[in-house]
Amino acid sequence: PATRAGPAYRERMADSGTTIAAALKVDRGCFTMTAIAPLAHQSSTLYDVRLRGERLIAKEFRKPAELYDAPLREAYALSSLDALDVAPRLMGWVPAGALAAGQWPVVVYRRMEGEMWDRRAPTPADMAALATLWLTVHRPAPDGTPRARGLWQGAGQMIDRSVAIMERYGHWARSA
């Protein structure tokens, strides 16, 4: 892998900058960006973007299995939550189908104040606030809302379906 100082890193940053500029609908020279060191569990590349005094986050999706659905779901989720003012505001995005070779889909959103929980342990007050927020966010979804992967028909139907799948597998295993 390239280091920050290496030419491959600069090329990737330049290419990522082009995609981020397209998402924001601005010229590449209008903002600065710095890569954020990933945590062990992260498969996306994050950038701290500064545009006209505003701090933004650009999330570049690099996991092959998620290139097409994850950016769409994230952009839709952020725009759906915009009216509730409980999530970062979507600033723009570029889907995988609109990119040149070597570019990655990106979602850009306004950075929220505070600290992410994966960088500290939540307090009991944080958990109480999360429960209230969860009730606000998880109202019944309007028709056409993309659901989390595997939950297209709801959790109950998914569980019912998994029982049938396991029964078919058991029948196959016994007959083999």
Q: Which pTM was predicted?
A: 0.67
Q: What is the pLDDT of residues 40-69, one digit of tens each?
A: 888 899 999 999 999 999 999 988 888 888
CB 88 within 8 A of CB 79: no
28 and 17 Cβ atoms separated by less than 8 Å: yes
According to the model, what pLDDT value does residue 50 have? 97
pLDDT at 4 over 60: no
Helix, strand, or coil here: 109?
A: strand
Q: Would you say 16 and 45 are in contact if contact means Cβ atoms under 8 Å apart?
A: yes
**Rounded CA separation 62/45 (Å):** 7
